[in-house]
A and B are shown apart, each in its own frame.
Chain A
Amino acid sequence: MPRPMRHGSLAQGKPDLKKFSPQTLKRLFNYIKTYKLLLALVVLFIIISGLTYAMSSLFLQILIDDYIAPLLLEAVPNFSGLFRLIAIMGAVYLTGALATLFYNRIMVNVAQGVLKKIRDDMFTHMQSLPIRFFDTRSHGDVMSYYTNDADTLRQMITMSLPQIISALVTVTSVLLAMLYLSFWLTIFVLIFVVAAFQLLRYLVGRSGTYFVRQQQSLGNINGYIEEMISGLKVVKVFNHEKEVKKVFDRKNETLCNDSTEANKYANILMPVMHNLGYALYVLIAIVGGILAINGLTNYSLTGAGAISLGIIASFLQLSRNFINSLAHVTQQINSIIMALAGAERIFSLLDEKSEVDNGTVTLVNAQKKNGVLNEAKHRSDFWAWKVPSTDGQIIYTELRGEVSLNEVDFGYAQDSLVLHDITLYAEPGQKVAFVGATGAGKTTITNLINRFYDIADGKIHYDGININKIRKNDLRSSLGMVLQDVHLFTGTVMENIRYGRLDATDEECIEAAKLAHADSFIRMLPKGYDTILSGDGNSLSQGQKQLISIARAAVADPPVMILDEATSSIDTRTEAIVQKGMDSLMHGRTVFVIAHRLSTVQNADVIMVLDEGRIIERGSHDKLIAEKGRYYQLHTGAYELE
């Protein structure tokens, strides 16, 4: 069952060099915007904090002119007035410090809130993605979105955002003050700033490119680490540590390079801005001097008049404040560019297309009263499809477990089909077995019935309903699955079994374990059913894991069951016991079985023999043997080995 062959993807392909899309910033701000009210408070507190700071210089002037100077003239100086002033200032400062405290704490709330929202959104969205997505992505790279990429936002929101707001407040007030002094000089400053921003944009662009690469390399290395540690046993038996380290070092070197370049450009920003400030200072002095000497008329918010040396001197002071605040912003630019790089990746995950689900038919518990099918409130042993028709009526169709495939074609990649013209009927209550060499397409067929993949051509019906019309979740919960690759989650044995049906009681789970013949070994575990399994149940043997996964499916008690090599690692004696249990559980229900073992297959009602994606023979065991076709050959082939 070959899945799509990838020819490079976002995860491992060349890092693309395109700049940030403007959408990224906008979408990021949509997340932050949820905290409008808090942000308004933050701005308020920042202004208060800034004002307190500004009052320091005012305070000094008042102190000297209004207090110290008169005191110098008094014969017996009375310091009570001065004391009052200092007390008032103390109160003002305290307010300022508190304002600082408040806005910093609020920003923590905003940042962590946004981070949580983004993480939750990513994970929720990821659950809706098709299996294809997971087939082609490196696991560790996807993990990186949740940690390394999400983390880039943290520093930006908690630290940089308030600094930028505060700088903007200062810049606006300084700009007003400048306009108050001189239009001409202000315009000159603005032109200069615009020119400076062109330079900045270049640097930000370079740096941004590398930050995007850095995040990609980080994801890449994350993927490599995940893969190599998960496969460590193989690394060890092949003595491959040295090579693995070599590859790691190469990826590490790339990451280091990207990170160095990104930070190099970002680190230049501050000194550039700072020193441009000095240059501006000199230019204003010269331009102002020329204006003054030539006696040009000065326009300002206060009106027109001659430009004075005093105006130029004050203007120079203001220009320093102006540039310093801007330089303050540039200090934060590293974290902003990095955040954008992270956000870009995050949004690319959020933009992955979800599984298409246009189904309207749902699965309900049902009961039959006087021959009429009704929806039951409680779990009954009876299911029905709830089919809404176009005229608003609701029709209940009994779930019988009739599955039919009609001329189905399918390929994982568009150009190569792996299933051709598959037509088959599974009557309700039948046991249908798929048989065939590895890679013949057995697993693929079951993956189509539960819509892990969508068919290229043909139709699949379930109780006469096209499975496209059934809501995916309902379709899948009507099918119990035991997959070839067992996967257990970290948690107790009990929790793992209960994964099949979340409202199952302990007794029901234990009952299922007994049915799967898992009870006896589970009881031998250190804490029985409360034993914690970790790292994909690596403390259990492969066969034991299969038994637990069968118990998990048994507790789900589904109307239709798919068993894909469910007992391949279980010894034949145990298998016989498990089989008996499953047969009694699934009595009267449809079961699809994929297996190599004759014992698993021979009592099936229908056996489908697959070869290279086609059904070449079908029928009961006896019929197929009698036909002396491929099945017969396979069967006797086993004889020859004896």
Chain B
Amino acid sequence: MFKLLLNSIREYKKDTLKTPIYVMLEVAMEVVIPFLMANMIDYGIDQGNMTVVLRLGAGLFGLALLSLVFGTLAGRYSAIASAGFAKNLRHDMFKNVQNFSFSNIDKFSTSGIITRLTTDVTNVQQSFQMILRMASRSPMMIIFSLTAAFRIDPRLSLIFLAAMPFLALGLFLITKYAYPVFKRVFKNYDLLNRIVQENIRGIRIVKAYTREDYEVNKFKDVSTKIHDDFSFAEKILAFNMPLVQMSMYVSMLLLSWFGARAIVASGNNPLLGLSTGQLVSLMTYTIQILMSLMLLSMVFVMITISRASSERIAELIEEESNLKNGDNPVYTMENSEIRFEGVNFSYSEEADKLCLKNINLTIHPGETIGILGGTGSSKTTLVQLIPRLYDVTSGKITIGGIDVRDYDLQTLRDKVAVVLQKNVLFSGTVKDNLRWGDADASETDLVNACKIAQADQFIRALPQQYDTHIEQDGSNLSGGQKQRICLARALLKKPEILILDDSTSAVDTKTESFILKALRKYLPATTRLIISQRIVSVKDADKIIVMDDGMISAIGTHQELLRDSRIYREVYQSQGEGGRHIA
């Protein structure tokens, strides 16, 4: 897992490697400087010799300056490397997410993806920086101190080695218990994100039903969960520091005991064995090791927390989209004849209920097809299979004789434009939103498309016309206005196949008839599939498909269906007088 993440360092490898090098140089200075300091006292101050003080002082100054430079560089490169690493992780995740199918998205949930891209990456970034800065410093200090200790008395220094397994065991147990709890903590972060997101998106419902307290309680449930789990996990981690302290303290006590015996045995003669002076040095090194270990243990805490995050990031990078290009994708579309052959579809593999059952259908290029049907009769599902928003469960759909799954996804979706039922606009200007259809569209193109969609007029009435800022989800436009911009956006793609999924439901009938007329006039060759609740929107179509409970109940022209289809007749009658749309 860590290996997978480390792949994302890429162009920051150099900076990553530079950091420990500068840290090592800095540490080297830190090892030398205390010797100079000791000398300054011993030979300068104690002797009252100002020349020595000044000379050593100048040297010290120089070394300190060097150390400062190395330290600064180490800090600089660690900052660059870790921020860059984080950037690449986010990039890799987001890139993969863009290829996800909707079932991939459902698996992680929107909020889960957001947490991974921000909170989890921040955790990894912080510990990565900490590791870069501390992980080379502390081991170096430890090795330096250990070597020095061994040179004084190898036998006594074995005490340190004896302490190591205990330390390791302790740390192992700490992670073993803390790690799963941290995984749970970040799951709860997903939940927290979701609750906040839904609350913001549904704030009108919350306020209309005065459910503020209810929402607060819902939020407090999850914030309590985070509180409890995080506290629990961090309290386990709190054993870390005392564990390190204790193992070093015990080493010191053992050192004192055996050291004292050794000194007594040798008669405090360095030549025969240990001397008191040497014992003092050993103790100094012990304290140095202790300090370094404490720093290391802080790194260890960070790693434990970020391990849970790393795993979550890796999951997202590794997830394979189950909606991919075939092996030899087709890049051209010969003609736009659509055929459904025995298509069955269900949203999840487990569900025993099919949303679409045995659909057989041929739509010739340039035809206008109306689709009508009751609420939940799978009209939307039917059309979403064409640009492969979902893949069929069995059977196949071909365009121009080629299975849609064999097309290059981009080619396919370039040819098929869908105006979704739930229209989404993005924060940005009207123009920005329109250019989604065609990034290179000229001003005239934009205006023309808007004219066909009957949007030009109201856009010109906006405060800054085409440069008016649209809020997220178009919250500053009315439903009908949003729908018309969405339509214009789709027209700019100049598609071969245009699918309108009930996308004029909030537009008044008169405007809608203008839109339909304009489409006939300006896009005569485009195959049009129009889902609607209104008979008037579909009655002029070449063919009208009546959907019922996931099946095609009838196909035919308006007149044929009036004669043959009971459902169609009923719908017609329900709209006969009162079903017409005003305004």
Q: Do A and B bind each other?
A: yes
Q: Fill in one digit per residue for B27-55: 1 if any A CB lies within 8 Å of its CB, else 0.
A: 00010010001001100111010100110
Q: How far is the CB of A543 from chain B (nearest CB, A)?
A: 3
Q: Which of B141-149, B155-163, B334-342, B418-426 contacts A (4 or more CB under 8 A)?
A: B418-426
* Chain A 41-72 per-residue mask, 1 if CB under 8 angstroms from chain B, else 0: 00000000000000010011001100111011
Interface core residue of B111, B298, B426 (most chain A CB under 10 Å)? B426
With A237-B387, A473-B210, A571-B571 in contact, do A638 and B536 touch (Cβ < 8 Å)?
A: yes
C-alpha gap A77/B287 in the complex (Å): 29
Known: A148-B118, A282-B61. A438 touches B71 (CB 8 A): no
Tell me the count of chain A residues lying within 8 A, CB to CB, of chain B.
195
How far apart are the CA atoms of A230 and B468 in the complex, in Å? Answer: 22
A394–B197 Cα distance when bound, in Å, is: 41
Q: Would A7 and B469 count as touching, CB distance under 8 A? A: yes
Confirm or deny: A204 has a beta carbon within 8 angstroms of a beta carbon on chain B: no
Note all chain A residues with C-beta closer than 8 A to B82.
263
Would you call A159 and B298 a contact (CB within 8 A)? yes
Check if B496 is an interface residue, CB within 8 A of chain A: no
B372: chain A residues at CB < 8 Å are 571
Chain A CB within 10 Å, residue with most, of B205, B241, B389, B582: B582
Whether the Cβ atoms of B219 and A452 lie closer than 8 Å is: no
Contact: A231 with B426, CB < 8 Å?
yes
Which one, A248-256, A296-304, A380-388, A395-403, is touching chain B?
A248-256
Q: By the criterion CB–CB under 8 Å, are B581 and A541 in contact?
A: no
Which of A140, A477, A609 has the most C-beta atoms of chain B within 10 angstroms of its own C-beta?
Answer: A140
Docked Cα-Cα span, A481 to B84, in Å, equals: 49
A139 touches B197 (CB 8 A): yes
Which residues from B are CB-within-8-Å of A67?
A: 260
Compute how far the CA of A264 lies from the CA of B235 in the bound complex, rounded to whole angstroms: 31
Is the pair B571, A573 in contact by a Cβ cutoff of 8 Å? yes
Q: Which of B188-196, B325-333, B397-405 contacts A (4 or more CB under 8 A)?
A: B188-196
A64, A108, A439, A443: the one within 8 Å of B234 (CB):
A108
Contact (Cβ within 8 A) A487 B249: no
Could you give, for residues 113-142 of chain A, a 1 whenever the CB lies within 8 Å of some chain B CB and a 0 otherwise? 101100110011011100100111111101
Cα distance A634–B420 in the bound complex, in angstroms: 27
- Pick the residue among A12, A112, A159, A601 that contacts B582 (CB under 8 A): A601
- Please determine whether B536 and A641 come into contact, CB atoms closer than 8 angstroms: yes
A252 and B234 within 8 A (CB) = no
Q: Known contacts A112-B234, A222-B118, A260-B80: does B475 contact A124 (CB below 8 Å)?
A: no
Contacts of B414 in A (CB 8 A): 239
Select one of B125, B201, B421 contacting A536, CB under 8 A: B201
Q: Is the CB of B86 within 8 A of A259?
A: yes
Q: Return the CB mask of A240-262 against B: 1 if under 8 Å, else 0.
A: 11011100110011011101111
Stretch at the interface among A27-35, A188-196, A285-293, A456-464: A285-293
Given the complex, which residues of B lie within 8 Å of A544, measured CB to CB?
375-376
Task: Report the minimal beta-carbon distance from A178 to chain B, rounded to whole angstroms.
Answer: 16
Roughly how many angstroms separate A218 CA and B86 CA in the complex, as a whole number? Answer: 12
The answer to whether A120 and B239 touch (CB under 8 A), given A72-B263, A282-B60, is no
Chain A residues, Cβ within 8 Å of B353: 524, 526
Q: Is B458 an interface residue (CB 8 A)?
A: yes
Mark out the residues of chain A between 152 and 167 whose CB falls within 8 Å of any chain B CB in the assembled complex.
154-155, 158-159
Cα–Cα, bound, A98→B479 (Å):
64
For A2, list chain B residues within 8 Å (CB). Answer: 462, 476-478
A175 within 8 A of B: no
**Please, how many angstroms separate the alpha-carbon atoms of A539 and B353 in the complex?**
13
Give the shortest distance, in Å, between B389 (CB) and chain A (any CB): 6
Q: Which residues of A contact B212 (CB under 8 A)?
A: 127-128, 473
**Nearest B residue (CB) for A502:** B214
Cβ contacts B461-488/A at 8 Å (1 or 0 each): 0111000110110011111110000000
Contact of B264 among A77, A119, A227, A638 (CB under 8 A): A77
B307 sits at the interface (CB 8 A): no
Does A244 lie within 8 Å of B513, measured CB to CB?
Answer: no
Given contacts A437-B508, A526-B351, A641-B536, contact A476 B210 (CB under 8 A): yes
Contact A278 B102 (CB under 8 A): no
On whether the beta carbons of B45 and A108 are closer than 8 Å, the reply is no
Q: Is A559 an interface residue (CB 8 A)?
A: no
Chain A residues, Cβ within 8 Å of B552: none
B86 adjacent to A271 (CB under 8 Å): no
CB nearest to B263 among chain A residues:
A68
Query: Contact mask A622-642 → B, CB, 8 Å, 1/0?
Result: 000000000100110111011
Tell me, rounded to whole Å, the shortest Cβ–Cβ distance linking A502 to chain B: 6
Q: Which residues of B contact A599 (CB under 8 A)?
A: 574-575, 578-580
Are B476 and A135 neighbours in the complex by a CB distance under 8 Å?
yes
Does A173 lie at the interface of the complex (its beta carbon under 8 Å from any beta carbon of B)? no
Are A521 and B375 within 8 A (Cβ)? yes
Contact bitstring B544-575, A, C-beta under 8 A = 1, else 0: 00000000000000000000000000110011
Interface contact B197-A124, CB-CB below 8 Å: no
Minimum CB–CB distance from A438 to chain B (whole Å) comes to 3
Beta-carbon contact of B267 and A596 below 8 Å: no
A259:B462 contact, CB within 8 angstroms: no
Are B583 and A436 in contact, with the CB atoms below 8 A? Answer: yes
- Number of residues from B at the complex interface, CB < 8 A: 189
**Cross-interface CB contact of B196 among A123, A158, A240, cutoff 8 Å:** A123
Once the chains are docked, how many angstroms separate the CA of A90 from the CA of B256?
A: 11
Query: Interface with B: A81-89, A365-373, A507-515, which one?
Result: A81-89
B72 to chain A: closest CB distance in Å? 5
A101-B238, A120-B219 known; A82 vs B257 contact (CB < 8 Å): yes
Contact status A134-B246, CB under 8 Å: no
Of A15-23, A308-316, A421-429, A582-590, the one touching chain B: A308-316
Closest residue of chain B to A138 (Cβ to Cβ) is: B472
Contact partner of B413 among A239, A252, A526, CB < 8 A?
A: A239
Decide yes or no whether A187 CB sits under 8 A from chain B. Answer: no
B106 touches A535 (CB 8 A): yes
The answer to whether B365 has its CB under 8 Å from any CB of chain A is: no
Q: Nearest Cβ in chain A — how far from B305, in angstroms?
A: 10
Residues of A within 8 A of B418 (CB): 237
Q: How far is the CB of A31 from chain B (nearest CB, A)?
A: 14
Q: B84 to A256, Cβ gap below 8 A?
A: yes
- Check A94 for interface membership: any CB of B closer than 8 A: yes
Is there an interface contact between A108 and B231, defined as CB atoms closer than 8 Å? Answer: yes
The answer to whether A63 touches B260 (Cβ under 8 A) is yes
Counting CB contacts under 8 A, is B313 at the interface? no
Query: Does residue A172 face the partner (Cβ distance < 8 Å to B)?
Result: no
Judging by beta carbons under 8 Å apart, are B533 and A570 in contact? Answer: yes
Assembled-state Cα–Cα distance A228/B351 (Å): 28
CB pair B256 A487 closer than 8 Å: no
A479 CB-CB contact with B under 8 Å: yes
Interface residues of A in 174-231 (CB under 8 A from B): 218, 221-223, 225-231
A135 to B471, CA, bound (A): 7
A375 within 8 A of B: no
Q: Which chain A residues lie closer than 8 Å to B94 at the CB level?
A: 225, 245, 248, 252
- For A131, A221, A489, A502, which residue has the most chain B Cβ atoms within 10 angstroms? A489
In the complex, whether B360 has a CB less than 8 A from a CB of chain A is: no
* Contacting residue for A112 out of B57, B231, B263, B458, CB 8 A: B231
Contact status B413-A64, CB under 8 Å: no
Beta-carbon nearest neighbor of B234 in chain A = A108
CB-contacts of B236-261 with A (<8 A): 238-239, 241-242, 245-246, 249-250, 252-253, 256-257, 260-261
Q: Is the CB of A452 within 8 A of B216?
A: no
CA distance A96 to B252 in the complex (A): 14
The 5 closest A-B pairs by CB, nearest first: A271-B71, A438-B480, A267-B75, A543-B375, A599-B578
Contacts beyond the supplied A5-B476, A100-B242, A158-B234: 20 A-B pairs with Cβ under 8 Å: A93-B252, A100-B241, A143-B196, A143-B200, A144-B118, A148-B119, A237-B413, A238-B489, A241-B99, A245-B94, A272-B72, A278-B37, A285-B53, A309-B45, A313-B41, A416-B463, A476-B209, A524-B353, A568-B479, A573-B570
Interface CB pairs A-B, < 8 A, 9? A105-B235, A236-B389, A245-B95, A256-B83, A282-B57, A438-B507, A476-B210, A477-B210, A634-B510
